[in-house]
């Protein structure tokens, strides 16, 4: 199976040699909606123009099959087993720098830095978020509009740590990053080291175990259903929320949740079928 014209947004576990691969076909928006239902099961994703390839452990096969059979969004799919050949080399073949708002550049660790940009260096061969996805792009677009100097930040669902690294490079006073996926741990710390950053607090933690969420800025690029439960928990006056992981079709639902819990919508941006919302208390 050739992976061409594609990106990795959450790549496969490199400590395994075999992955179970689900290929789903159809309109991209329908594929994105289905993929959003699999957030906890997924070990990796690649996106092509006409299909999506989803990688996961065998023990998730039954639960994903059940969701497929119940879904009205996906009617054409195929299962296969993929053996790792040279994943790092594949990344080097197609991973290109990403430039956002002509200010931030996300580059792989083998690519030279460009002093015309704020460079964020990552290892995409292990990445849980490489910046290619519309939601990450939108989040960075909104964050760089803000003045984070001496502000406190929490990055919920940090993945590869891109948004946390950006916050520190924008002189945030403190950054606390959490993710509920154990597989993010090594990649997060490697990316911090690549960017010569050591003062970000990181925990494997569920956002619903946080207790009081009292930060100046809250970044949350996470599952739509998690966002709906999380938003009412945020009550500190003066807090700015920047959230994504939301499809355009869910816009009114999220906006209502924000407004009903006392948040004021400041901006909504869109890239393809995804949106990013900035709100304040």
Q: What is the pLDDT of residue 92?
A: 62
What are the extents of the domains in the chain? 7-90, 95-280
Distances (CA, A) of 179 to 47, 118, 139, 208, 236: 23, 24, 17, 11, 22
Distances (CA, A) of 178 to 139, 254, 258, 276: 17, 22, 22, 20
CB 77 within 8 A of CB 24: yes
Q: What is the pLDDT of residue 57?
A: 67
CB 168 within 8 A of CB 199: yes
Please give the class, per CATH, of domain 95-280. alpha beta
Q: Which pLDDT tens digit goes with each residue over 158-197?
A: 988 999 999 999 999 999 999 988 878 888 999 999 999 9
Rounded-to-integer distance, Cα 198 and Cα 120, Å:
14
Q: What is the pLDDT of residue 253?
A: 94
CB 190 within 8 A of CB 126: yes
DSSP 12: P
Residue 272 has pLDDT above 50, yes or no: yes
Lowest-confidence segment of 45-59, 76-90, 95-109, 218-232 by average pLDDT: 76-90
Q: Which pLDDT tens digit goes with each residue over 183-242?
A: 788 889 999 999 999 999 999 999 999 988 999 999 999 988 899 999 999 988 999 999
What is the architecture of the domain spanning 7-90? 2-Layer Sandwich (3.30)
Rounded-to-integer distance, Cα 255 and Cα 47, Å:
28
- Same fold yes or no, 7-90 and 95-280: no
Residue 15 has pLDDT above 50, yes or no: no
Q: pLDDT band for 140, please (50, 70, 90 cuts).
A: very high
């Amino acid at each position: 199976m050739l992976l061409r014209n594609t990106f990795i947004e959450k790549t496969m576990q490199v400590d395994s040699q075999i992955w179970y691969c689900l290929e789903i076909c159809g309109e991209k928006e329908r594929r994105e909606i289905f993929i959003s239902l699999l957030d906890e099961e997924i070990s990796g994703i690649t996106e092509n123009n006409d299909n999506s390839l989803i990688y996961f452990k065998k023990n998730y096969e039954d639960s994903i099959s059940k969701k497929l059979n119940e879904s009205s969004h996906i009617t054409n799919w195929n299962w296969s087993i993929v053996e790792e050949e040279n994943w790092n080399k594949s990344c080097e073949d197609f991973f290109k720098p990403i430039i956002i708002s002509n200010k931030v550049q996300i580059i792989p660790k083998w690519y030279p830095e460009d002093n015309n940009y704020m460079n964020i260096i990552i290892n995409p061969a292990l990445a849980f978020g490489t910046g290619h996805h519309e939601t990450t792009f939108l989040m960075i677009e909104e964050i760089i509009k803000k003045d984070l100097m001496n502000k406190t930040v929490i990055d919920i669902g940090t993945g590869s740590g891109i948004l946390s690294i950006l916050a520190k490079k924008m002189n945030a006073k403190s950054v606390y990053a959490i993710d509920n996926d154990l597989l993010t741990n090594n990649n997060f710390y490697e990316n911090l080291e690549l960017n010569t950053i050591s003062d970000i607090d990181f925990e494997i933690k569920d956002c619903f175990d946080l207790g009081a969420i009292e930060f100046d800025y809250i970044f949350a690029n996470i599952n739509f259903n998690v966002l709906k439960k999380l938003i009412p928990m945020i009550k500190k006056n003066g807090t700015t929320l920047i959230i994504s992981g939301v499809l355009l079709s869910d816009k009114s639902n999220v906006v209502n949740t924000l407004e009903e819990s006392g948040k004021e919508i400041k901006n909504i941006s869109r890239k393809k079928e995804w949106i990013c919302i900035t709100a304040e208390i």
